[in-house]
């Protein structure tokens, strides 16, 4: 059960968009529509931003959106704001009541 693959870093200027990829396999990302994304600021607990590939919990800005194609899921943050600077992790159901996180991506707002 290897970690899902994410780019270590991504960046964009305020107002721009950034997209983070999350590459898995047919046993996790590709096999189920159960990909979530979490935002983590330094020293804080993670926060759910997207679940079930595309759904946003109440209170999460619509600037955050999720998608999936095959074994790759993506998180797009549109209209980047300073407070979006954080670490982002994807997470997928991997069958047999097990789950796996991605390796994490640090987003920098330039």
* Lookup: tokens for 26: 């047919």
Instruction: Pick the closer one to another protein by CB: 34 or 67.
Output: 34
Name the one residue in this structure whose structure tokens are 């970690």. Answer: 3
CB of 14 to another protein, least distance (A): 26
Q: For binding to another protein (CB under 8 A), which residues are involved?
A: 1, 3, 32, 34, 36, 38, 40, 45-48, 51-52, 57, 87, 89, 91, 93, 96-104
CB of 16 to another protein, least distance (A): 25
Instruction: Pick the closer one to another protein by CB: 1 or 16.
Output: 1
């Amino acid at each position: 059960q290897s970690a899902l693959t994410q780019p270590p870093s991504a960046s964009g200027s305020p107002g721009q968009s950034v997209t983070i990829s999350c590459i898995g396999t047919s046993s996790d990302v590709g096999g189920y529509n159960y990909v979530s994304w979490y935002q983590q600021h330094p020293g804080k607990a993670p926060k759910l931003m997207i679940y079930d590939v595309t759904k946003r919990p109440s209170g999460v800005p619509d600037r955050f959106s999720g998608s999936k194609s095959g074994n790759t899921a993506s998180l797009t943050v549109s209209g980047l704001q300073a407070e979006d600077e954080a670490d982002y992790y994807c997470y997928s159901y991997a069958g047999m009541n097990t789950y796996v996180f991605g390796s994490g991506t640090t987003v920098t707002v330039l």
